[in-house]
Amino acid sequence: MKGPAVVERMVATNGVELRVDDGGSGPLVVLAHGFPELARSWRHQVPALIDAGYHVMAPDQRGYGGSSRPTPIEAYDIEQLTCDLLGLLDDAGEERAVFVGHDWGAIVVWALAQRHPERVAGVVGMSVPFLARPSGPPTAIFRHLFGSSFFYILYFQEPGVADADLGRDPATTMRRFLAGLSEGNGGGSLAELVSADDGRGMVERLPEPAGLPGWLPADELAAYVAAFTRTGFTGGLNWYRNLDRNWELSAHLAGTTVDVPAAFVAGASDPVLAFTPWQGMERWLTDLRGVTLVDGAGHWVQQERPDEVTVALLGFVEGLDLG
């Protein structure tokens, strides 16, 4: 992410170093990416938020890009991930910030709003709605629901398996992930990610796009490919391998609500919404200030429809009391 108003720097926090795109001044907005992404997925929103008078920090989260990639799987549990983001506030000398998260980043910022509401001025989840703590360990629930079928989250659980699959050819992996889950390909890719286990891995199940969508120019895709060629995918996959651990670590939050100002943004064609519907989320978000479904967008909503997402974010942030 380049530009005169943004610097790339390393922030030491919570036992790791995070590479952060940092710029602007004013109330702090922290942007947390998902899987398999990088801070650059916010490349359109960062300058827009800076121009609107905000201080923006967008990290490569732990396990990604230029940030630390600890070896132990448990180093990627929800306590570590939320504390990483709190460390950015401490580095900036701020008591509170607005947190915006996409995909796995949404799960982290929702959790942060529950765990440390005094540090959260507002929270926006993108693509993954707030999910209440389930009645049992998530992987056990998934195995009950999907039986012997292939389900990508269960496929991700065994260390080394998905790592090798996704890392075999990062160019194919990232092309199919980014273009395959964008608008127009979402339904087909969802069907393949929850289907009979015929021996295929994850990458084989993602559709090969006829070409790159307009929002994903070749040089942008190349930047993702270069990053994941260097790092591999293990860091990001380890987030999934903590689902049951996260469930155990959140026992004290069972039945609790998110009480800070909140909003939800997603692509109307996002396949994730088929198995994590946003309807009913208002029961758990006591100050829900808006749901924005962006027509013509799939899973990578802030990249596919940057202008609409930026308008939604600014509308939410400008309505907060950030004094």
138 and 247 Cβ atoms separated by less than 8 Å: yes
**pLDDT for residue 303 is more than 50:** yes
Does any domain span residue 253?
yes
pTM: 0.96
Q: What is the pLDDT of residues 45-96, one digit of tens each?
A: 999 999 999 999 999 999 999 999 999 999 999 999 999 999 999 999 999 9
H helices present in the chain, as ranges: 45-51, 78-92, 104-115, 138-146, 152-155, 161-167, 170-180, 186-193, 202-205, 218-231, 234-240, 243-249, 301-304, 306-318
Specify the range with the lowest mean pLDDT, choosing from 89-98, 117-126, 179-188, 207-216: 179-188
In which band, very low, low, confident or very high, does the pLDDT at 187 lie, cut at 50, 70 and 90?
A: very low
Active-site entry in 44, 55, 102, 299: 299
186 has pLDDT over 50: no
Residue 321 CA to residue 323 CA, distance in Å, equals 6
Active site residue 103: yes
Is residue 144 included in any domain, yes or no? yes
Residue 5 pLDDT: 85
- Answer whether residue 222 is part of any domain: yes
Type of residue found at 188: G
Q: What are 276's two structure tokens?
A: 């994590």
| Domain range for 161 | 6-318
Task: Give the rounded percent of residues in the chain with a pLDDT score beyond 70.
Answer: 96
Residues forming beta bridges with residue 126, ordered by sequence position = 102, 265
Rounded to whole angstroms, the Cα distance separating 261 from 42 reads 22
With respect to residue 264, please indicate whether it lies within any of the assigned structural domains.
yes
Query: What band does 234 get if pLDDT is binned at 50, 70 and 90?
Result: very high
Query: What is the tally of structural domains in the chain?
Result: 1
Which one of 84, 103, 165, 270 is the catalytic residue?
103
| Confidence band, pLDDT 50/70/90 cuts, at residue 205 | very high
The pLDDT of residue 323? 76
Residue 78 lies in a domain: yes
Residue 285: band (very low, low, confident or very high) from pLDDT cuts 50, 70, 90: very high
153 occurs within a structural domain = yes
The chain-wide mean pLDDT, for the chain, equals 94
**What per-residue confidence (pLDDT) applies to 184?**
59
Report pLDDT for 195.
83
104-115 and 78-92 are packed helices; what angle lies between their axes, rounded to 10 degrees? 70
pLDDT band at 249 (very low <50, low <70, confident <90, very high): very high
Least confident residue range of 1-10, 21-30, 117-126, 285-294: 1-10
* Residue 321 a catalytic site member: no
**Domain at 137, CATH number:** 3.40.50.1820
What pLDDT shows up at residue 189?
53
Looking up tokens 């194919």 gives: 172
**Which residue would you say has higher pLDDT here, 249 or 191?**
249
Confidence class of residue 13 from pLDDT cuts 50, 70 and 90?
A: very high
Q: Is residue 323 part of a domain?
A: no
CB distance 302 to 309 below 8 Å:
yes
- pLDDT interval class at 264 (50, 70, 90): very high
Q: Is residue 1 part of a domain?
A: no
